């Protein structure tokens, strides 16, 4: 990562550290969100960091953006940052105009919406932040094929729901609503690429949450005393801390591999492998951290559950482990032949095409 990128991330982390605390994260479960924090990031150009200069952005790359998403996950920032920036990234990559304002998206079900004569009909569930955003980016079927469309959520019937972490996951319904933009017909490879990118954004948020859980747990073992000494001096607790540090290191390494692979268009299923491995990491990190914290980690007063609940919620959203396991198994059967190891370690197998 360049010195300039390090500087940008230092600025973002300082803004998040100074403005996001447990009480701010809690407001999401009251049906509110941190609009002031969003305004701060927007004012400093962070919401447009990976948008081209031609479209009014900073002209950064995916590595810049995904690392900022990682930081919003690390602080459980109650804002639709990942959703808005990913929606705009999809719009720009399909030669559409980026959205002006808050946006969200839904890719997982290509059968949810039908596009006919420029009008959209259908219903999607678990749409993140729909009640708080203006623009909706999704896939829609027409007689010509599948398109990416952008539409104003003011035309939608929105029913409020939430995930395990209390984050908005709404049901959105359109009936003959006029779309704002429609892409050219998308190939299945292009749709697969979008799914890969969506998972990369989710892994960025997960990596941040895992990093924070590790920090909280280590700090707690230094502060909590039993039998006259901090609990991090007990051998069993030290073993837990070592295992947790190992899972955190794996998550960070996988995330760095993903950003490097996406940046160089040589990802050879790095996203798929990482998503499958994160399933194990999430289980281990949540289990270890709550064992070390004991009952206090589940109380409202402590911040730990804000991050473990997000991990549990995010693991079931979008293209989950089952999806990626099926993708990897199918590709291995179809492509590896009797050279399995060569196929697994081939870094020249380019999948990202957008």
Of residues 302 and 341, more confidently modeled: 302
pLDDT, position 332: 83
**Adjacent-strand bridge partners of 151:** 136
Mean pLDDT comparison of 2-6, 139-143, 296-300, 332-336, highest-scoring range: 139-143
Q: Which of the residue ranges 1-5, 21-25, 225-229, 262-266 would you say has the lowest mean pLDDT?
A: 1-5
pLDDT at position 350 is: 46
Mean residue pLDDT of the chain comes to 91
In the predicted structure, residue 351 carries a pLDDT above the cut 50: no
Q: Is the pLDDT of residue 352 over 70?
A: no
- For residue 111, pLDDT beyond 90: no
- pLDDT, average across residues 3-11: 85
Band of pLDDT at residue 347, cut at 50, 70 and 90: low
Q: Is a pLDDT exceeding 60 seen at residue 164?
A: yes
**Could you report the per-residue pLDDT of 297-317, keeping only the tens digit for each?**
889 889 999 999 999 999 999
Cα 156 to Cα 53: distance, rounded to the nearest angstrom: 32
pLDDT of 69 higher than 50: yes
pLDDT at 330 over 90: no
Give pLDDT, residue 77: 97
Residue 24's pLDDT is 97
Structure confidence by residue, pLDDT tens digits, 221-240: 998 878 888 888 788 889 99
Which of 121-125, 171-175, 215-219, 294-298 has the lowest average pLDDT?
A: 294-298
pLDDT at 353: 41
pLDDT at 231: 82
Confidence at residue 73, expressed as pLDDT on a 0 to 100 scale: 98
Instruction: Tell me the mean pLDDT in the region 64-93.
Output: 97
Q: Comparing 214 with 57, which gets the higher pLDDT?
A: 214
Is the pLDDT at 349 greater than 90? The verdict is no
pLDDT reading at 11 higher than 80: yes
Q: Is residue 268 over pLDDT 70?
A: no
Is the predicted pLDDT of residue 52 greater than 70, yes or no? yes
Categorize the per-residue pLDDT at 58 as very low, low, confident or very high, splitting at 50, 70 and 90: confident
Q: How far apart are CA 153 and CA 178, in angstroms?
A: 10
Residue 220 has pLDDT above 50, yes or no: yes
Strands 169-178, 157-159: pairing kind: antiparallel
């Amino acid at each position: 990562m360049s010195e300039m990128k390090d500087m940008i991330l230092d600025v973002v982390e300082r803004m998040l550290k100074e403005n996001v605390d447990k009480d701010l994260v809690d407001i999401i479960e009251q049906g509110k969100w941190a609009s002031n924090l969003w305004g701060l990031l927007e004012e400093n150009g962070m919401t447009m960091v990976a948008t081209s200069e031609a479209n009014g952005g900073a002209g950064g790359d995916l590595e810049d953006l995904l690392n900022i998403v990682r930081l919003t996950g690390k602080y459980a920032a109650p804002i639709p940052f990942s959703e808005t920036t990913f929606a705009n990234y999809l719009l720009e990559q399909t030669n559409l105009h980026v959205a002006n304002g808050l946006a969200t998206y839904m890719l997982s079900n290509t059968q949810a919406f039908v596009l006919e004569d420029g009008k959209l009909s259908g219903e999607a569930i678990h749409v993140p932040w729909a009640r708080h955003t203006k623009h909706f980016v999704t896939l829609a079927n027409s007689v010509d094929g599948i398109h990416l469309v952008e539409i104003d959520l003011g035309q939608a019937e929105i029913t409020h729901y939430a995930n395990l972490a209390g984050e908005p996951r709404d049901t959105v319904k359109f009936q003959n609503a006029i779309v704002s933009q429609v892409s050219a017909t998308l190939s299945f490879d292009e749709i697969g690429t979008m799914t890969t990118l969506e998972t990369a954004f989710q892994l960025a948020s997960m990596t941040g949450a895992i990093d924070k859980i590790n920090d909280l747990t280590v700090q707690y073992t230094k502060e909590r005393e039993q039998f006259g000494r901090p609990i991090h001096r007990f051998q069993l607790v030290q073993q837990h801390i070592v295992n947790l540090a190992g899972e955190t290191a794996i998550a960070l390494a996988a995330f760095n591999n993903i950003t490097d692979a996406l940046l160089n268009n040589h990802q050879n299923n790095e996203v798929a492998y990482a998503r499958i491995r994160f399933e194990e990491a999430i289980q281990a990190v949540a289990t270890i951290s709550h064992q070390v914290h004991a009952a206090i980690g589940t109380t409202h007063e402590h911040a730990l559950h804000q991050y473990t609940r997000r991990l549990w919620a995010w693991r079931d959203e979008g293209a989950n482990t089952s999806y990626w396991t099926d993708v990897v198994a199918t590709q291995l059967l179809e492509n590896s032949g009797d050279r399995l190891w060569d196929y697994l370690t081939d870094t020249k197998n380019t999948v990202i095409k957008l």
